[in-house]
A = this chain, B = another copy of it.
Amino acid sequence: MEEVDNNQVIFKGYIETLPKETDMELKVSKIKLKAPKGSGAILVKNLYLSCDPFMRGRMRDFQGSYIPPFVPGQALEGFGVYKVIDSDNPDFEPGDLYSGLTGWEEYSLIHRPQQFRKIQADDIPLSYHVGLLGMPGFTAYVGFFEVCTPKKGEYVFVSAASGAVGQLVGQLAKLHGCYVVGSAGTSQKVDLLKNKLGFNEAFNYKEETDLDAALKRYFPQGIDIYFDNVGGDMLDAALLNMRINGRIAVCGAVSQQSLSKPQGIHNLYNLIIKSIKMQGFLQHNYLHLYPSFLEHVIGYYKQGKIVYIEDMNEGLESGPAAFAGLFFGENVGKQVIRVASE
């Protein structure tokens, strides 16, 4: 069988600061559209690729995380939606659609599919399987319900609130009967939070000179739940404004420029004086809840009770800039790359 061109986004080498477009490069290699006999592998065509902040952790030469670092010289890896082209594995049929970890390239030979899920024919946009119904959506769901254990009427603050995770946290919190305020970095995003995503209030953190004062303005009675997507100064300010028995889900630290020497957090003594729980979590430790998540979120979506905002870039070649842009808040909503149409 003939080989075809396979455009790829290659990881150039380990970094300690924010990813730049130039930390990745486009390359064309060759691939046979065939899963080798006896390999048990599948050969897939990638349709959508997801830009997720957690991927930055894999750009660091650090082995102690839950997921190993990228290999320099090879394609990046991330969540995607793909179609099976050829299969040497009886569990996968050509033509079927899946979401799961795949390469940043047009075609991938996947030896051991990871975190993959079959996509059933439905009227939900395919790309939502890496967003609303994928890792970010499930992260929002378990982070909010399992880590934050919300009660009706509680005061909830969400940072990076229009992002892939934050936008769903806020909507779930509203549906749960909480009072929800979000922060974001542009007036356009603040407008979306208030007028499209149904947050009670929202503010542009870049327009605030004193984050503590801003939180006191929006939460005069204090914060019960902080869903933290940014770390840094906002976390420090939130710690000052937490209520007794407050909960902080530590989901991301996108504000941190440096991976090797992040900014200091000064207000942790609030954990003691206010009995606060602060918890990191990984959605894949809660996979037993995935069916219930899917049922709830698909239900809400079909009833029009939640919406999901995507920022769709066209073509694999737009990947490096889109990924680097995440860390400057350039995306409006969940950042996705459309590699190919079905």
Contacts and interface: CB of A to CB of B under 8 A. Distances in A.
A266 interface: yes
Contact of A279 (B270, B276, B281): B276
A149 B206 CA distance: 40
Contacts of A265: 264-266, 268
Given A253-B268, A272-B250, A280 B277 contact: yes
A255 to B, nearest CB: 11
Interface in A290-307: none
Interface in A90-112: none
A274 B268 contact: no
Contacts of A65: 273-274
Copies in the complex: 2
A273 B269 CA distance: 22
B64 A274 contact: yes
A268 B262 contact: yes
B280 A274 contact: yes
A187 interface: no
Interface in A215-267: 231, 235, 244-245, 250-253, 256, 259, 261-267
A146 to B, nearest CB: 12
